[in-house]
């Protein structure tokens, strides 16, 4: 039965090259200023289910043509009565990965083996698996699996709750499986006649976590004499590094093969590598092509890049040449924050801050250095905000993202003077901007490529270390005018995937590991594209290491997590614990002053703890981590981002000043009363134990009230709630208030053509401006006197907009605005 053991031990195809192991500690390399990070096993936790707010979409992992028949070759209840599937049907099965290799000795698969049937694992180092009338061909190894009638182990169900009902198939525990994980893999069932009844590929994160979890050095490490590289790539068959003298050289000056030990590839080079560039060449089986591919990728732990992330820069962030004057003393010069209850945050976009500011020298407009110019109009504005009580600047994504060329000379932008030539209600402005939106210099930045490097387009020079120095100067300058810095981080998805996408990094190095896949093996897409899987050990480690890097190396003061609910609660808690351990004396920063908050929406494949306990609103009580409160937003403004745009709320006319969409009916009167209750709870920090007298005269807790079928209140302390009515998503606050106002004087037309819905608005600007300003004042007062966080949208001048604008990620900066978050806890 276990004849494959001898094949495994004798086959040169499955030999692991021996090498000197990399140091499990930093060895002779000087340790960077990092605390020791321990990664304990996950613990179980229960929570209340949350609502699903978005439609989950699935992006196929595979670039090949999909089979027209989604194969389940064996109907588990009637396989014995069915004819064997055709060869083409079974061949199609390898396009899917419906089985999970979850531990060293257990494979989970939702399939039956009936009667005298059998189940086998197949492996081919050369990715030669195929099917013919004679059965499966091309394997180097064939191993029989035995079903475990006790089912999956408890630790597997805890890690992968979505496959809790799958069957467990076991390999012999003494089998050395590590070489197999570098191969093309498949499992197949056979009926009693020996005909293949079902087959599929495998997903490997579970077994990779068990066998290759690693806490040693990764990325480039620098000593006085040498530079060393470490890359985690346990499924790779070979890894080489190509060294380039500069960022634009056509050919590498040398190519070096890395040595592997237990999934980590490493090499050591001369000190002269500093200032050069490198790219990894990874030979690895990729399920998207079902081939062994030669992938070229940046270092996941890159700390510097050439323009447009073509190559990784060898750069030692600890070098004194990269530190602005006084950088090492900045921790002692930061503005005081006695507690998170004193926080007030102003949200803005780096390019928008100065792109049109003529008091900024042209070479610095739209970039990091604009924040360092003390006499510019923008910085004067920030100083006024600081003096008025704003404590933090929240910068929209600043890491290396796709969608904007790092080289400004390649931009194709629309001149502002050209746009002024058209009437305010013309469609020509939008048409001109849309025509160049993929080639201009503007993007919000939610297209992550590499999380750990500042975006090159905001720097004076995207090559070399310029972006590092200028980013640090920006942080330092903001601190010196009394403002701390919050970064917008996007760990929930990546822009690229597959072996050939120029924006793909992680999926080239360990294919199928970093990105979350559905039960057919296709990449989940509910965030927007390429969802990441922080439930996997090395994904979580990368996220925590990256946050540690930004905190220590750039001395930032907080993080706003995009779609935080798609990360695991465990990841957020470990992040908080690690950052809180940082001290000014040892690390140059006070980690206890770093505030964490984000979008705790619960939707997609992670909803209701579908992939483990996630960092959603209802799972965060007791953590001290903040989440945005959509309850008070919807009560104040009316409707929701997905509802009718004219649905009124508490401050813009619901029941009392109907706008035509709403009428003064008993239903709207009740909605107004209920909205009052929701606002009252929100002003009390949305605390679940807060007791109020509701609209029916009853004393109830905030958690008893409901919003879209779930409790209104969920927080256990004020720091866990950030109240808001508007941010960079959807319409500006001024626009949405104006649109819903009774005095809007609108004509609302919805024109549907194909898949596109456009809206046309006509209104009287003077009347609208007066009414909208009154409503904005009411909103601001309502939020400011509350006891927790809020968001106020700050437009250039209230009332000067000529028509409603809905902000989108790909637009130019002509119609973008900044926001104020005032966290008054």
Residues noted as catalytic: 562, 599
For β-strands 345-348 and 291-297, DSSP reports them as unpaired
Strand partners, 291: 286
C-alpha distances (whole Å) from 485 to each of 39, 379, 466 are: 28, 14, 20
CB 158 within 8 A of CB 44: yes
- Which pairs count as long-range contacts for 806-809, CB under 8 Å and 24+ apart, including other chains? 806/730, 806/731, 806/735, 807/728, 807/729, 807/730, 807/731, 807/732, 809/403, 809/443, 809/444, 809/446, 809/447
Interacting residues of 429 by C-beta distance below 8 A, sequence separation 6+: 419, 422, 814
For β-strands 118-124 and 167-170, DSSP reports them as unpaired
Length of the chain, in residues: 825
Helix (H) or strand (E) holding 244: strand 236-244
For β-strands 706-707 and 710-711, DSSP reports them as antiparallel
Tokens representing 148? 């475990």
Interacting residues of 70 by C-beta distance below 8 A, sequence separation 6+: 520
Instruction: Provide Rg for the chain, Cα atoms.
Output: 28
d(CA 806, CA 825): 30
Strand partners, 791: 821
d(CA 58, CA 501): 18
Burial of 751 per CB tally in 10 Å (0-12, 13-18, 19+): exposed
Closest CA to 717 of 628, 788, 783, 618: 788
For β-strands 626-629 and 721-723, DSSP reports them as parallel
Closest CA to 726 of 822, 621, 597, 601: 822
CB 375 within 8 A of CB 468: no
Burial of 172 per CB tally in 10 Å (0-12, 13-18, 19+): middle
DSSP 66: P
């Amino acid at each position: 039965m276990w004849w494959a053991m001898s094949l495994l031990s004798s086959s040169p195809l499955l030999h692991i090259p021996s090498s000197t192991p990399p140091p499990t500690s930093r060895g002779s390399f000087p340790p960077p200023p990092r605390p020791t990070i321990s990664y304990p096993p996950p613990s179980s936790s229960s929570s209340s289910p949350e609502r699903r707010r978005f439609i989950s979409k699935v992006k196929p992992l595979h670039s090949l043509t999909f089979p027209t028949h989604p194969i389940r070759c064996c109907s588990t209840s009637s396989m014995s009565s069915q004819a064997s599937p055709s060869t083409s049907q079974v061949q199609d099965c390898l396009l899917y990965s419906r089985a999970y290799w979850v531990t060293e000795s257990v494979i989970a698969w939702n399939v039956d083996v009936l009667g005298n049937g059998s189940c086998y694992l197949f492996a081919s180092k050369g990715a030669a698996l195929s099917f013919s009338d004679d059965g499966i061909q091309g394997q180097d190894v064939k191993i029989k699996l035995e079903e475990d009638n006790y089912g999956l182990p408890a630790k597997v169900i805890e890690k992968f709750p979505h496959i809790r009902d799958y069957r467990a198939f076991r390999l012999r525990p003494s089998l050395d499986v590590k070489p197999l994980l570098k191969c093309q893999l498949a499992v197949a069932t056979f009926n009693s006649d020996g005909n293949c009844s079902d087959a599929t590929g495998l997903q490997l994160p579970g077994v990779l976590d068990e066998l290759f979890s690693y806490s040693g050095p990764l990325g480039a490490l620098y000593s006085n004499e040498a530079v060393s590289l470490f890359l985690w790539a346990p499924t790779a068959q070979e890894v080489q590094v190509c060294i380039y003298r500069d960022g634009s050289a056509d050919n590498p000056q040398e190519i070096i093969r890395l040595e592997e030990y237990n999934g980590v590839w490493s090499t050591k080079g001369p000190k002269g590598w500093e200032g050069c560039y490198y790219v990894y060449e990874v030979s690895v089986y990729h399920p998207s092509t079902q081939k062994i591919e030669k992938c070229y990728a940046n270092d996941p732990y890159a700390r510097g890049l050439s323009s447009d992330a073509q190559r990784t820069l060898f750069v030692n962030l600890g070098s004194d040449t990269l530190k602005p004057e006084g950088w090492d003393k900045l921790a002692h010069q930061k503005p005081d924050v006695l507690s998170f209850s004193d926080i007030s945050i102003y949200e803005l976009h780096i390019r928008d801050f100065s792109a049109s500011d003529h008091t900024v020298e042209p070479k610095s407009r739209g970039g990091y250095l604009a924040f360092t110019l003390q006499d510019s109009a923008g910085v004067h504005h920030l100083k006024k905000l600081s003096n008025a009580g704003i404590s933090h600047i929240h910068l929209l994504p600043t890491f290396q993202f796709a969608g904007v060329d790092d080289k400004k000379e390649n931009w194709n932008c629309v001149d502002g003077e050209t746009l002024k030539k058209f009437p305010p209600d013309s469609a020509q402005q939008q048409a001109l901007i849309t025509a160049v939106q993929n080639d201009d210099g503007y993007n919000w930045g939610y297209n992550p490529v590499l999380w750990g490097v500042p975006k090159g387009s905001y720097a004076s020079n995207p090559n070399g270390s310029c972006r590092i120095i200028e980013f640090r100067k920006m942080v330092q300058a903001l601190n010196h005018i009394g403002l701390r810095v919050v970064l917008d981080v996007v760990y929930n998805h990546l822009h690229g995937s597959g072996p050939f996408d120029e924006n793909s990094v992680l999926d080239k190095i360990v294919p199928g590991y970093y990105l979350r896949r559905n039960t057919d093996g296709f990449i989940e897409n509910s965030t927007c594209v390429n969802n990441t899987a922080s439930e996997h050990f090395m994904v979580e480690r990368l996220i925590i290491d990256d946050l540690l890097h930004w905190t220590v190396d750039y001395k930032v003061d907080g993080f706003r997590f995009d779609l935080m609910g798609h990360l695991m609660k465990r990841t957020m808690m470990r992040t908080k614990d690690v950052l809180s351990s940082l001290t000014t004396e040892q690390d140059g920063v006070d980690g206890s002053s770093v505030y964490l908050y984000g979008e705790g929406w619960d939707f997609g494949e992670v909803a209701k703890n579908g992939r483990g306990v996630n960092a959603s609103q209802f799972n965060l009580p007791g953590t001290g981590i903040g989440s945005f409160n959509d309850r008070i937003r919807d009560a104040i403004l009316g409707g929701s981002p997905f509802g009718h745009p004219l649905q009124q709320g508490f401050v813009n006319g619901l029941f009392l000043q109907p706008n035509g969409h709403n009428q003064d009916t008993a239903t709207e009167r009740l909605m107004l009363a209920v909205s009052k209750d929701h606002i009252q709870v929100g002003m009390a920090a949305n605390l679940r134990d807060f007791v109020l007298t509701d609209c029916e005269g009853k004393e109830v807790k905030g958690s008893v009230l409901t919003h879209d079928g779930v409790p209104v209140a969920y927080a256990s302390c004020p720091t866990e709630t950030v109240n808001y009515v508007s941010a960079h998503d959807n319409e500006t606050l001024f626009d949405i208030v104006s649109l819903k106002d009774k005095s809007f004087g609108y004509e609302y037309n919805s024109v549907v053509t194909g898949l596109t819905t456009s809206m046309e608005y006509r209104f009287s600007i003077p009347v609208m401006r007066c009414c909208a300003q009154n409503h904005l004042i009411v909103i601001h007062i309502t939020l400011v006197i509350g006891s927790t966080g809020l968001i106020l949208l700050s437009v250039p001048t209230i009332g000067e907009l000529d028509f409603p604008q809905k902000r989108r990620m790909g637009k130019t900066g002509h119609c973008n605005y900044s926001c104020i978050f005032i966290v008054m806890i």
